[in-house]
Amino acid sequence: MERKYDPENKVSVIAHARKLINRTLRESGLDNIHMHGHKGKGSFGQVLEEFYFEYKPNSNSEPDFKEIGLELKASPLKKVKGRHYNSKERLVLNIINYSDIPNEKFETSSFWKKNANLLLVFYLYELDQDILDYKIRLVSEWEFTNEDLKIIRQDWEKIKEKILSGKAHELSEGDTLYLGACTKGGKGGNPRPQPFSQIHAKQRAFSLKQGYVNHIIASISREQKGVYGKLIKSSSELTKKTLEEIVVGKFESYYGFSIPKISEMLGINLNPKAKSFYSSLTKAILGVSLDKEIEEFKKADIKIRAVRLQKNNLPKEDISFPAFEYVKLVREEWETSELKDFLEHKFLFVFFQFVENDLILKKAKFWNMPHQDILDVEKVWKKTKDIVSKGEIVRDIKKGRRSTNFPDKSYSKISHVRPHASNAADTYPLPVKDNFTGVLSYTKHAFWFNSSYVRDEIYLK
């Protein structure tokens, strides 16, 4: 059968792909496509390959169009506010081969051979819709810029390093910035051997972080010009230093100075009472204008947290996470839960300390949660899920104040569960009635970092 395009000609491949824009697979003019027989995650991509591009889905180490070095990837979009699109998830690339990567160099690695040049097909995901009816919205070739490539290469080296030291089982997406090592395969990756340890490690694949995919989407749809401010002005800055070292270096010039003094040095006038104060201060220190987002941080999905330490180094407050929805929580599995996803982000902690009446900048530190600690939080999560699903939230009411059975600080040294709402009436629905009160919704709660954990494991380490 004659193909409708020439797979050895890049212009032809891309032109063929672009015919899909604003169409669905069902509308793509293929007779037998409804007989595809694929189901589950990834089936959109498989049908796209097999029916539209007319080759059998495979797990070759070569790019899909090997003659022109082009790798085809399909990825879902979600709509955010009006006509704007975001990535629904990370973009999963090839499997990390634990036994091969120790002998690889980046330039000739299987990762780079396969993914240097991508052909991206973004479709709009809709819950419960047939994959043949997803509307394809964006189709574009993608190549990494020099700056991004330096960071991706550093990420790749970091992943390789961890495997070399026999820690493949401790890999986490939070280890890296743009290129992550995400779990792949049933229930968070079937364990497999690794070369420098007896411990089996989950199967993982290279992936582009969701924030990075959002950046790709924004650039190819030519949206949001001028919304982002770059921290790295030239890729040569990344030759000798990592992004993290560059950022911390910029903060170091202000260590030991008070907030009013730093504001004066930076020539800015911010209201310290404003909740956006710390994020504005961070931008000013990093040389990004206040009305812009820090591009590198957005791409790497970095979470910034400001912490005020008391004289004894204990943070004045615990650190809150976003509130969770009870109904969602009880439906989740730990491996794919919102909490685990959150904990596997990279964080930038900015520590201030009270001295007399001033807050002094002490330290800026990048951090992501060690593997062992993530396992500990799993217990907190499971207990919380258990309590909600059994309707055992409220333990007692005294003087109008309710006490709960949620895991408290004594349950885990890392994390506990506390209210996180505008007031007690600010609630989320419950999956089952609360036994003690009979209510069907409850004050919004969140997971929190214990202040002592932040002191001992983040500030002091």
What is the binding site for DNA (CB under 7 A)? 81, 271, 273-276, 278-279, 303-306, 308, 312, 314, 316-323, 398-404, 406, 408-410, 416, 418-426, 443-444, 451-452
DSSP structure class, residue 289: -
Q: Which residues contact 435 (CB under 8 A, 6 or more apart)?
A: 390, 391, 392, 394
The least distance separating DNA from the CB of residue 404, rounded to whole angstroms, comes to 4
**Rounded to the nearest whole angstrom, what is the least distance from the CB of residue 87 to DNA in the complex?**
15
Cβ neighbour number for residue 384 with a 10 Å cutoff = 25
Amino acid at 63: P
Name the minimum Å distance from CB 397 to DNA.
8
Closer of 213 and 259 to DNA (Cβ): 259
Closest alpha carbon to 443 in 382, 390, 402 = 402
Q: Closest separation between CB of residue 272 and DNA, Å?
A: 8
Can you list the alpha helix ranges (DSSP code H) found in 317-443?
326-331, 338-343, 371-389
- C-beta of 260 vs 322, nearer to DNA: 322
Min separation Cβ 455 and DNA, Å: 11
Give the contacts of 350 (CB within 8 A, at least 6 positions apart).
251, 278, 281, 282, 304, 305, 306, 307, 361, 363, 364
Taking the CA atoms of 420, 424, 427 and 433 in sequence, report the sign of the dihedral they define.
Answer: positive
Beta bridge partners of 140: 120
Min. distance of Cβ 29 from DNA in angstroms? 39
Whichever of 233 and 311 has its CB closer to DNA, that residue is 311
Closer residue to DNA, CB minimum distance, 95 or 348: 348
Residue 427 Cβ, how far from DNA at the closest point, in Å? Answer: 10
Nearer to DNA, 386 or 426 (CB): 426
Distances (CA, A) of 124 to 74, 88, 185, 444: 11, 9, 23, 31
Closer residue to DNA, CB minimum distance, 36 or 385: 385
Residue with smaller CB distance to DNA, 145 or 403: 403
CB of 384 to DNA, least distance (A): 12
Q: Report how far residue 297's alpha carbon sits from residue 112's, in angstroms, rounded to the nearest whole number.
A: 23
Measured in whole angstroms, the distance separating CA 27 from the mean position of its chain's CA atoms is 33
Q: Which tokens is 416 given? A: 């506990």
d(CA 237, CA 235) in angstroms, rounded, equals 5
Determine the number of helices (DSSP H) and then strands (DSSP E) in the chain: 13, 21
Least distance from C-beta 410 to DNA, angstroms?
6
Sign of CA dihedral 172, 176, 177, 180: negative
* Residue 206 vs 453, nearer CB to DNA: 453
By three-state DSSP, how is residue 322 classified? strand
As a residue count, the chain comes to: 461
| Minimum CB distance to DNA smaller for 75 or for 405 | 405
